[in-house]
Copies of this chain bind each other. A is one copy, B any other.
Amino acid sequence: MRYDVADLSLASEGKKRILWADNDMPVLAAIRKRFAKSRPLAGKNVSACLHITAETANLARTLKASGANVVLCASNPLSTQDNVSASLVKDFKIPVFAICGENRSTYYKHINAAIDHKPVITFDDGADLVNELHTHRKKEGHRIIASMEETTTGVIRLRAMANASLLKFPVIAVNDADTKHLFDNRYGTGQSTVDGIIRATDFLMAGKKVVAAGYGWCGRGFAMRARGMGAIVVITEVDAIKALEAAMDGFEVMPMAQAAKEGELFVTLTGNKNVIRAEHFRVMKDRAVVANSGHFNIEIDIPALKKMSKKVNRNVRNHVDEYILKNNKRICLLAEGRLINLAAAEGHPACVMDMSFATQALEAEYVIKNKDKLAVAVHDVPIEIEQKVSKLKLKSMSIKIDQLTAEQIAYLGSSGEGT
């Protein structure tokens, strides 16, 4: 078995972590149990380019239980939990290519190892693997039945490819499923971003002026939780409707040029690039803290920050680099602009990843069953899968809900009854 992980001796810590997370992933566990009998992916090669966390480990176990030959590689150089990857290799016999802190070249070497596995289904978190299959490894694409995409960022890239007629095989916008983005992006990113920032800085959030760039699902999750911890939250947006929602949700809304002067903590959650730029750093307060919770480390213009700085004090606290600008003000950059919730905390809690990964697992079963019907396009997750996942989740939480009565179903389908 080929693999590349940091240190196999960490496996026992990793196994504890995987099993602990599994306790909070009852939907995925139920699917795993069923898959172990029905074996829907028997003999299929599958490669997953995902954050290598305890939750991902439980997805990988589920895919393995379904009969697939699974290989994992990292979707981000800083998010790998080395003890989890060790346990996956040692305890669960699932090959992993991922080392926390790996450089760009190793990162892509690992993605290529996952491609060498000759997968028929791929999983992506940011579309790096799919992109490789459309550029340097074009020849391997023909084999792909479908590829799943987990992030807003990745779906944006894939739609751009589809619009430009570059897409070579069907992709599934798992991110766009309600069971994914309404929960994972909102409650998951919301909590874990606050968590990552507190671990990195030990800041009191109460009374802190926090600027959230972006009021999409991630942004509103973070804004809601930062406010829940007592912060005064300011929103920047480029979309007028989202900006109005933010305003009527009680947040101050202003352009970044203004927010940059007022904020004490800045977090980007946009899926876009260079959202915080030189012109913004220049007017920030001394000791402003800047972090990113979007997928890629390009939301903050770090090269510009470096160029503006006369000195950088690395690691003044774990995950904190202090940039001294020429005007002598200090800017604290967290986790080198990488996803703060994965770099400084543990990423999304297992409870929400349960829904996202249950959707992924059921979708994998679906694409195998429907492989001949899938056009080369960006597909949504079928509503039936969403319903199955959400009902299983409610059940696992012991929440019962109402059923429509026959009379109500008839009413909703009719038009005659009025005032």
For residue A179, which residues in chain B have a CB less than 8 angstroms away from its CB? Answer: 241
Interface centre among A191, A253, A402 (most CB of B within 10 A): A402
A-B pairs with beta carbons under 8 Å apart, 19 shown: A16-B316, A77-B419, A157-B414, A157-B415, A164-B415, A191-B230, A199-B199, A204-B350, A206-B247, A207-B397, A224-B230, A230-B248, A232-B250, A239-B401, A240-B394, A241-B386, A273-B407, A273-B411, A296-B417
Quick one: closest B residue to A177, CB to CB? Answer: B241
| Residue A218 lies at the interface, judged by CB distance under 8 Å to chain B | no
What is the 8 Å Cβ interface bit string for chain A, positions 98-116, against chain B (1 contact, 0 not)?
A: 0000001001000000000
Find A296's partner among B230, B287, B418 (CB 8 Å cutoff).
B418
This chain: copies in complex: 4
Whether A374 sits at the interface, judged by CB under 8 Å, is no
Asked if B204 contacts A351 (CB within 8 A), the reply is: yes
A202 surroundings in chain B (CB, below 8 A): 20-21, 24, 346, 349-350
Q: Which residues of B contact A391 (CB under 8 A)?
A: 240
Closest B residue to A49 using CB positions: B419
**A203-B349, A415-B161 given; A17·B317 CB < 8 A:** yes
The answer for the CA separation of A312 and B355 in the assembled complex, in Å, is 31
Q: Report the Cα distance A157→B391, complex, angstroms.
A: 27
A128 adjacent to chain B (CB < 8 Å)? yes
- Taken together as a complex, chains A and B put the C-alpha atoms of A352 and B249 apart, in Å, by 13
Interface membership of A198, Cβ < 8 A: yes
Instruction: Tell which of B203, B230, B250 touches A231, judged by Cβ atoms closer than 8 Å.
Output: B250
Bound-state CA distance A253–B19 (Å) is: 29
Contact yes or no, B206 A250, CB < 8 A: yes
Is the pair B255, A417 in contact by a Cβ cutoff of 8 Å?
Answer: no
A409 to chain B, nearest CB (A): 9
Contact A203 B24 (CB under 8 A): yes
Complex CA distance for A229 and B21, rounded to whole angstroms = 20
**A1-52: which have CB < 8 Å to B?**
16-17, 19-21, 23-24
